[in-house]
Amino acid sequence: MATYTLERKKSFALTAYGFSIRSNFQNMSEVQKEKAEFWGRLKADGRYHKLKEAAKDDREWSVNEVYQGKPWNYFAVEAGKSVADATRIIEFPESEYIVVAGTGEKDMLFDQLTFRAFGEILPQITDYAYIGGPNATYRRDNGNGTFYGEFWVPVVKK
């Protein structure tokens, strides 16, 4: 089984731009294509840079959640100032979190960690359960062409 840690996290909020995923959530190649198109639009229209300028630190976040009955993906930061046209401010509860860490290429790391967590780790954990709500992955530049990231999913003891 892939490695993970169980960590207590304080509540936090992320400011985000997002979109409703239209593809079948089981079709990962289609979901990845939708995400890539969305993130490309964010960079092209300046919203990516607007969020980065509002960020408290250099972490870039990808957030997944079901919102109003539909799966959503967001690009987010922990903002130090308001972003008036953000899609949402996403609240994360104080909780125990399963944390899956890794390094990789910038464009692949979010999905690699998310798929590892949901495909390999969470199905094998018997003493904790995902509580629903948003889950998130952050990445940060290592300065050598690779990125470090962590996937965080809130859980409760069974």
Q: Can you tell me the distance from the alpha carbon of 85 to that of 28, in angstroms, rounded to the nearest whole number?
A: 29
What is this structure's pTM? 0.91
Res 31: pLDDT: 85
Flag whether pLDDT at 155 surpasses 90: yes
Q: What is the pLDDT of residues 65-97, one digit of tens each?
A: 998 888 999 999 999 999 999 999 999 999 999
Q: Is residue 26's pLDDT more than 80? A: no
Mean pLDDT of 24-28: 77
Task: Render pLDDT for 1-20 as a digit per residue (tens, 0 to 9).
Answer: 568 999 999 999 999 999 99
- pLDDT at site 133: 85
Separation CA 87–CA 76 (nearest Å): 10
Q: Which domain holds residue 68?
A: 5-157
Question: What integer pLDDT is reported at residue 1 of this predicted model?
Answer: 52
Give me the pLDDT at residue 2, please. 63
CATH number of the domain at 151, please. 3.20.80.10
Q: Which residues of 114-146 are buried (b: 16+ CB within 10 A; e: fewer)?
A: bebbbeebbeeeeebeeeeebbbbbbeeeeeee
Q: Per the structure, how many domains does the chain have?
A: 1
pLDDT digits (tens, 9 = 90+) for 94-147: 999 999 999 999 988 998 999 899 889 999 999 999 988 899 999 999 999 999
Q: Is residue 50 within 8 Å of residue 11, measured between CB atoms?
A: no
Q: What one-character-per-residue DSSP string does 51-117 give?
A: HHHHBSSS-EEEEEEEETTEEEEEEEE-BSS--TT-SEEEEE-SEEEEEEEEEE-HHHHHHHHHHHI
